[in-house]
Amino acid sequence: MASIQLFLHDFGLWIAIVIGLVVGSFLNVVIYRLPKIVSAQSIGENSDSNLTLTPWGTLLSPGSTAPCCQKPIAWFDNIPLFSWLILRGKCRDCGQAIAPRYVLVELLTALSFVWVYFYFGLSWEALFYAIFLSVLICLFFIDLETYYLPDYLTLSLLWLALLGSASGLLNFAPSDAILGASFGYFVPWATNFIYWLWRRRDGFGGGDFKLMAALGAWLGMSAVLPILAIASVLALLSMGLWLLIKKERFDLNRMLPFGPFLILAATTLFFDSQVFNFLIER
């Protein structure tokens, strides 16, 4: 009981939960808007239009609109978690259900921030890991919904690891980050190349190589093969489950986003090793 009371009286914990929910709410905007911005940019490059879209400007304005009916969302309907509970998961204007992803992202972000606070306290390292986990949450849902891993996010993640280790704020050497990134990019690239020679089509997307490079930089070279192995098993299991539930033949030519499985595998390994280190340090 004493430990629960101590837990609830920890002011930093509440700050971590509140900041996590607010950041999670912003991540939802990124997940919804970034793929649209990127595809608008690629159309802009191919046409003569003078449309210039900067991701930061477009992510922050105009204010939030409901994805269902495009009506502007009032501030009191835009409070993380609570508005969803008050509205009972339905849009105030058109009554359509709000995708459970919105609440899920807010809760996952809050959980990540609580975890980061417990392991790193208030430190630069905490800030780096909070950004690391936030970007992974974005990538997970963007790939799941659009089959696409934006360079803005994967490459930022890679640079963040290099910057963090070079400045000494993260607990690994820059050489380890560079080795991990190179190996992380090379293994799926080589696998894809062999697959291409065999079937004359790509098995992986280019976004997967960059995501693996970033994960290799953050988690080290030794994590690359386990991440790929665990992700492949998870992907196969999900395909099997899909077959059982949907009772339809799985079309191998159908695209399966691999990014979410890579991220699941990487975070499992990451949390596992952190808990392990934490236990031996005691």
Chain contacts with Zn ion (rule: CB under 5 A): 66, 68-69, 91, 93-94
Q: Which is nearer to Zn ion, 22 or 66 (CB)?
A: 66
User: Nearest approach, Cβ of 177 to Zn ion (angstroms)?
Assistant: 44
Q: Which is nearer to Zn ion, 43 or 69 (CB)?
A: 69
Q: Which is nearer to Zn ion, 53 or 94 (CB)?
A: 94
How many other C-beta atoms can be found within 10 angstroms of the C-beta atom of residue 110? 21
State how far the Cα of 230 lies from the Cα of 232, in Å rounded to an integer: 5
Q: Which is nearer to Zn ion, 29 or 155 (CB)?
A: 29
User: Nearest approach, Cβ of 67 to Zn ion (angstroms)?
Assistant: 8
Q: How many CA atoms lie within 13 A of 110 on its CB side?
A: 16
User: Nearest approach, Cβ of 92 to Zn ion (angstroms)?
Assistant: 7
User: Nearest approach, Cβ of 91 to Zn ion (angstroms)?
Assistant: 3
Q: Which is nearer to Zn ion, 69 or 166 (CB)?
A: 69
Q: Which is nearer to Zn ion, 13 or 91 (CB)?
A: 91
User: Nearest approach, Cβ of 98 to Zn ion (angstroms)?
Assistant: 8
User: Nearest approach, Cβ of 95 to Zn ion (angstroms)?
Assistant: 7
User: Nearest approach, Cβ of 105 to Zn ion (angstroms)?
Assistant: 19
**What are the beta bridge partners of residue 97?**
90
Q: Which is nearer to Zn ion, 93 or 145 (CB)?
A: 93
CA nearest 133: which of 218, 224, 209? Answer: 218
